[in-house]
């Protein structure tokens, strides 16, 4: 019985990691690295949904990545924007001052 429980727990943990496997976090790497990542998620990994996420000054880069991937590399794939979520996160900087950082999450789906 213990082995069965372990197997069920292992399956659950695999499912959790595969859910996050389709998220692309935008940062300081070159622009085309992220475009390639989005394209590979749909074409090579067979994902039906990909989430592009960014914070702060990288939010505009996330929008550009999505648009270039959709309009240039994924024309035939019929990729649509399912949802766009925007929010802000609150932090304290090194001086102890409270700051807000904007976030964006763009969900793409294959139709």
| pLDDT tens digits for range 72-104 | 999 888 999 999 999 999 989 899 999 999 999
Q: Supply the CATH number for residue 77's domain.
A: 3.30.110.20
Q: Which two tokens stand for residue 75?
A: 């024309």
**What stretches in the chain show pLDDT beneath 70?**
1-20
d(CA 89, CA 80): 27
Instruction: Tell me the residue range of the domain where 105 lies.
Output: 2-110
pTM score > 0.85 for this model? no
d(CA 94, CA 98): 10
d(CA 43, CA 9): 30
Q: How many domains does the chain have?
A: 1
């Amino acid at each position: 019985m213990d082995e069965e429980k372990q197997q069920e727990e292992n399956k659950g943990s695999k499912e959790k990691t595969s859910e996050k496997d389709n998220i692309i976090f935008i940062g300081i790497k070159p622009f085309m690295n992220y475009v390639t990542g989005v394209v590979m998620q749909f074409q090579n990994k067979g994902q039906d949904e990909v989430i592009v996420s960014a914070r702060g000054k990288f939010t505009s880069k996330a929008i550009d990545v999505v648009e270039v991937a959709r309009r240039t590399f994924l024309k035939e794939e019929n990729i649509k924007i399912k949802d766009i979520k925007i929010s802000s996160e609150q932090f304290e900087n090194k001086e102890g001052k409270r700051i807000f950082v904007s976030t964006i999450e763009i969900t793409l789906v294959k139709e």
